[in-house]
């Protein structure tokens, strides 16, 4: 039964890839495909020979710290970005690593002073001979894929307001769609679509409804004006339904009392569309459906986690679903055509909510775990970094499992945390985390999305595991904060191979095949900003490895 379902899934995933990009041997989008599965049908490297994997070549990315790029491979060219701007976009011969061109934009001096989060970059998108990259200075740029020359440039957002671009955009037909990160100084999120050829704006959709629009009355007073709900993560696209899927960030400011009642009984003050999954019509940007995972958020349970599109047997029927491992600790299965919630199960230890009411879709809160003005909720799980952060998961249609780099941290938090403003004083409590139940800080796990349960897990005493890749070779690859890059048996989680890259790995690996040879690639370069506000756990992260910046490409030895 499962086997049959798996086969139909392979077929459906292949059909999801836009025709122009149908290179099953490459890696044409951030998530491998626009369904974000991070699954590759390549199988030359498998459980029996992975132990022989060795370094083929290495590229220095030319910058240190916080490397989060997913390389793309289109034809025989590999595209990869560095952090800091990006400082460089490289186009390489995917066989040898020889550089074909390098795009090194002028990034405004001192931009780090403005960036909300870090100076990371998560890579490029590709379509129709163009490479698209978002920059810290708030611009989306289209490059000629052959030469690296700028074709057009559009300002998405003003970086001096603390908003930046660091995720690759979503490709949908003739459009390229992006949001932005940040908004610490007050922002109202939006998604914007540009024509791939001309860079002309096609549509723009606010993620916080304005006056007169449905949902505007879910905000107290004028709090919608700077309500946050920015879109800093990765989108997905279903060409058959012509829907784009994105998760939105937490509402702003953090103090819930500014946006509604300071209570689990928030009534209509849900703060739409913050901490929400949105499905948008790709042609117009119209919001077709939404599902809000954390209404009236008070924990920074940002819902930007990527949606992975799959066709799963639900209630005996193959169903088009979107899968999300949310910051708030629940794993959601949503019907991706209608937005109907199909299941919501905790994938990490959580205590802020008992469960999710399947009739209303709302979490059943534990009132004493909601931070409030002058009230510090203690030992709240998960920590604000979430049950899963940005590091991408992978769905393997062969095993039917999702591989999740999960976090196991808890926190104390009060609901009156002010936003920092220049020249002003206040004491800001840093939500220093503590390890969650079990004492481990993270767990790379296999999750059955149909049964809603964990199949296996590898607990780690350090936090911040890297993103996942699964392959038809029966393997799952991921890195960790100590710099180890690992291959696991996809069915058991048993480690079959590991290699130390010298700096922490947060990014997800890819695999591709050229001239009959399969390669596996991953960037290494420890996160820099995350440890700075994690107290003693942050110190452990910094101590684990130095900063770094390298692309490692692996191969099997030639016989």
Partner 1 sequence: MTSSRRGLGAWLLAAALGASCAIPSAAGEPPSTLRVCADPDNLPFSREGAGERGLLVELAELIAAKLGARTEYTWWRTLYGKRAVRNTLLAGRCDAFFGLPYDREFMPTVALSRPFLDVGWAVVTPPETVVARLDDLRGRRVAVVFGSPLQMLLASRGGFDTLTFRDDHEALDALGRRAVDAAFVWGPTAGYVNARKLGGRYRVLPMAGEGLQWKMAIGLRKDSDELGPRLDHALADLAPDIQRLAARYGFPTAAPVDLLAGDAGAVAAGREAFNQHCSHCHSPDAISPEPSRDLRRLRARYGPTTLAVFQVTVLAGRPEKGMPRFNDALTPDTIRTVWTFLESIQD
According to DSSP, the residues that pair with 552 across neighbouring strands are 58, 522
Per the CB < 8 A criterion, the answer to whether 71 and 81 are in contact is: no
Lookup: tokens for 83: 């952090």
Per the CB < 8 A criterion, the answer to whether 111 and 136 are in contact is: yes
Lookup: tokens for 84: 């800091």
Q: At closest approach, how far in Å is the CB of 232 from partner 1?
A: 16
Name the phi and psi angles at 410, rounded to 5. Answer: -130, 175
Q: Is 516 in the site for partner 1 (CB under 8 A)?
A: no
The DSSP 8-state label assigned to residue 227 in this structure reads: -
Q: Is 210 in the site for partner 1 (CB under 8 A)?
A: no
* Length of the chain measured in residues: 559
If we measure between CA atoms, which residue out of 550, 477, 501, 519 comes closest to residue 95?
A: 519
* Alpha-carbon span 257 to 407, nearest angstrom: 28
Which listed range, 57-65, 85-93, 246-254, 319-327, lies at the site for partner 1 (CB under 8 A)?
Answer: 246-254
Q: Is 420 in the site for partner 1 (CB under 8 A)?
A: yes
* Alpha-carbon span 497 to 510, nearest angstrom: 16
Name the phi and psi angles at 14, rounded to 5. Answer: -60, -40
Q: Is 543 in the site for partner 1 (CB under 8 A)?
A: no
Q: At closest approach, how far in Å is the CB of 181 from partner 1?
A: 14
Q: Is 265 in the site for partner 1 (CB under 8 A)?
A: yes
Lookup: tokens for 47: 């459980």
Considering only residues 214, 221, 315, 557, which one is a binding residue for partner 1 as defined by CB under 8 A? 221
Active-site position among 300, 365, 396, 443: 300
Q: Show the binding pattern over residues 170-209: x = contacts partner 1 (CB under 8 A), - = does not.
A: --------------xxx-----------------------
Q: At closest approach, how far in Å is the CB of 6 from partner 1?
A: 46
Considering only residues 211, 425, 515, 559, which one is a binding residue for partner 1 as defined by CB under 8 A? 425
Q: At closest approach, how far in Å is the CB of 418 from partner 1?
A: 5
Q: Which is nearer to partner 1, 380 or 393 (CB)?
A: 380
Q: Which is nearer to partner 1, 422 or 559 (CB)?
A: 422
Q: Which is nearer to partner 1, 25 or 529 (CB)?
A: 529
Distances (CA, A) of 1 to 6, 310, 316: 9, 16, 10
Is 250 an active-site residue? yes
Residue with tokens 């163009």: 130
Q: Which is nearer to partner 1, 163 or 196 (CB)?
A: 163
Cβ neighbours, 10 Å, residue 139: 17
Lookup: tokens for 176: 């390229």
Q: Is 261 in the site for partner 1 (CB under 8 A)?
A: yes
Q: Is 372 in the site for partner 1 (CB under 8 A)?
A: yes
The DSSP 8-state label assigned to residue 225 in this structure reads: G
According to DSSP, the residues that pair with 513 across neighbouring strands are 518
Q: Which is nearer to partner 1, 49 or 263 (CB)?
A: 263
Q: At closest approach, how far in Å is the CB of 368 from partner 1?
A: 5
Q: At closest approach, how far in Å is the CB of 140 from partner 1?
A: 23
Q: Which is nearer to partner 1, 106 or 222 (CB)?
A: 222
Q: Is 125 in the site for partner 1 (CB under 8 A)?
A: no
* Alpha-carbon span 415 to 495, nearest angstrom: 42
CA 551, chain centre distance (Å)? 20
Q: Is 364 in the site for partner 1 (CB under 8 A)?
A: no
Is 300 an active-site residue? yes
Say how many residues touch partner 1, by CB under 8 A. Answer: 46
With residue 471 as reference, give the H or E element that holds it.
strand 469-471
373-412: which residues touch partner 1 (CB under 8 A)?
373-376
Q: At closest approach, how far in Å is the CB of 118 from partner 1?
A: 10
Active-site position among 184, 238, 302, 417: 184
* Alpha-carbon span 206 to 174, nearest angstrom: 21
Q: At closest approach, how far in Å is the CB of 413 from partner 1?
A: 12
Q: Which is nearer to partner 1, 31 or 189 (CB)?
A: 189
If we measure between CA atoms, which residue out of 118, 119, 59, 116 comes closest to residue 87?
A: 119
Is 184 an active-site residue? yes
Helix (H, G, I), strand (E, B) or coil at 511: strand
Please list, in sequence order, all residues whose beta carbon lies within 8 angstroms of the beta carbon of residue 119, skipping any fewer than 6 positions away.
65, 66, 83, 84, 85, 111, 112, 136, 528
Q: Which is nearer to partner 1, 146 or 428 (CB)?
A: 428
Q: Which is nearer to partner 1, 339 or 371 (CB)?
A: 371
Active-site position among 250, 271, 408, 458: 250
Which listed range, 55-63, 217-225, 289-297, 308-316, lies at the site for partner 1 (CB under 8 A)?
Answer: 217-225
456-478 core/surface letters (b: 16 or more CB in 10 A; e: else): bbbebebbbbbbbbbbbbbbbbb
Considering only residues 317, 422, 515, 559, which one is a binding residue for partner 1 as defined by CB under 8 A? 422
Q: At closest approach, how far in Å is the CB of 33 from partner 1?
A: 37
Q: Which residues bind partner 1 (CB under 8 A)?
A: 110, 112-114, 116, 162, 184-186, 220-223, 225-226, 252-255, 257-258, 261-265, 367-368, 372-376, 416, 418-428, 532
Q: Which residues are catalytic?
A: 184, 250, 300
């Amino acid at each position: 039964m499962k086997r049959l379902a798996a086969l139909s899934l392979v077929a459906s995933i292949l059909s999801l890839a836009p025709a122009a990009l149908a290179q099953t041997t490459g890696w044409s989008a951030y998530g491998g495909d626009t369904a974000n599965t991070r699954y590759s049908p390549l199988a030359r490297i498998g459980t029996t020979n992975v132990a022989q994997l060795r370094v083929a070549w290495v590229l220095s990315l030319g910058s240190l710290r916080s490397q989060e790029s997913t390389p793309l491979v289109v034809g025989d060219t590999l595209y990869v970005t560095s952090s800091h701007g990006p400082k460089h976009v490289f186009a390489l011969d995917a066989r040898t690593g020889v550089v074909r061109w390098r795009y090194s934009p002028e990034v405004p001096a001192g931009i780090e002073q403005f960036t909300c989060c870090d100076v990371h970059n998560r890579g490029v998108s590709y379509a129709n001979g163009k490479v698209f990259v978002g920059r810290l200075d708030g611009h989306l740029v289209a490059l000629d894929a052959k030469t690296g020359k700028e074709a057009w440039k559009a300002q998405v957002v003003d970086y001096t307001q603390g908003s930046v671009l660091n995720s690759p955009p979503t490709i949908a037909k003739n459009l390229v769609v992006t949001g932005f990160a940040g908004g610490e100084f007050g922002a109202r999120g939006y998604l914007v679509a540009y024509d791939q050829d001309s860079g002309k704006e096609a549509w723009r959709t606010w993620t916080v409804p304005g006056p007169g629009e449905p949902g505007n009355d879910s905000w107290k007073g004028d709090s919608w004006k700077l309500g946050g709900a920015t879109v800093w993560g990765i989108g997905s696209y279903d060409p058959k339904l012509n829907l784009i899927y994105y998760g939105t960030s937490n509402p702003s400011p953090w103090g819930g009392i500014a946006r509604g009642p300071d209570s689990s009984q928030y009534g209509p003050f849900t703060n739409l569309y913050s901490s929400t999954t949105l499905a948008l019509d790709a042609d117009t940007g119209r919001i077709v459906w939404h599902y809000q995972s954390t209404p009236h958020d008070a924990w920074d349970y940002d819902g930007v986690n990527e949606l992975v599109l799959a066709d799963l047997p639900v209630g005996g029927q193959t169903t088009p679903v979107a899968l999300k491992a949310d910051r708030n600790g629940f794993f959601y299965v949503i019907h991706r055509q209608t937005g109907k919630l199909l299941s919501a199960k905790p994938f990490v230890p959580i205590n802020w909510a008992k469960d999710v009411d399947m009739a209303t879709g709302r979490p059943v809160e534990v009132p004493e775990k909601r931070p409030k003005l002058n009230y510090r909720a203690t030992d709240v799980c998960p920590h604000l970094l979430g049950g899963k952060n940005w590091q991408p998961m992978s769905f393997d249609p062969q095993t039917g499992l999702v591989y999740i780099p999960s976090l196991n941290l808890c926190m104390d938090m009060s609901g009156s945390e002010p936003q920092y403003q220049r020249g002003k004083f206040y004491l800001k409590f840093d939500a220093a985390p503590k390890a969650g139940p079990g004492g481990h800080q993270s767990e790379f796990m296999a999750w059955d999305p149909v049964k809603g349960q964990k199949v296996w897990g590898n607990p780690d005493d350090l936090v911040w595991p890297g993103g996942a890749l699964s392959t038809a070779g029966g393997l799952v690859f991921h890195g960790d904060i100590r710099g180890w890059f690992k291959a696991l048996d996809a069915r058991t989680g048993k480690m079959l191979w590991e290699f130390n890259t010298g700096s922490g790995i947060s990014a997800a690996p890819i695999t591709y095949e050229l001239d009959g040879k399969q390669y596996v690639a991953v960037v290494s370069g420890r996160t820099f900003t995350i440890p700075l506000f994690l107290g003693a756990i942050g110190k452990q992260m910094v101590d684990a490895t130095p900063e770094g910046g390298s692309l490692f490409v692996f191969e099997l030895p030639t016989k």
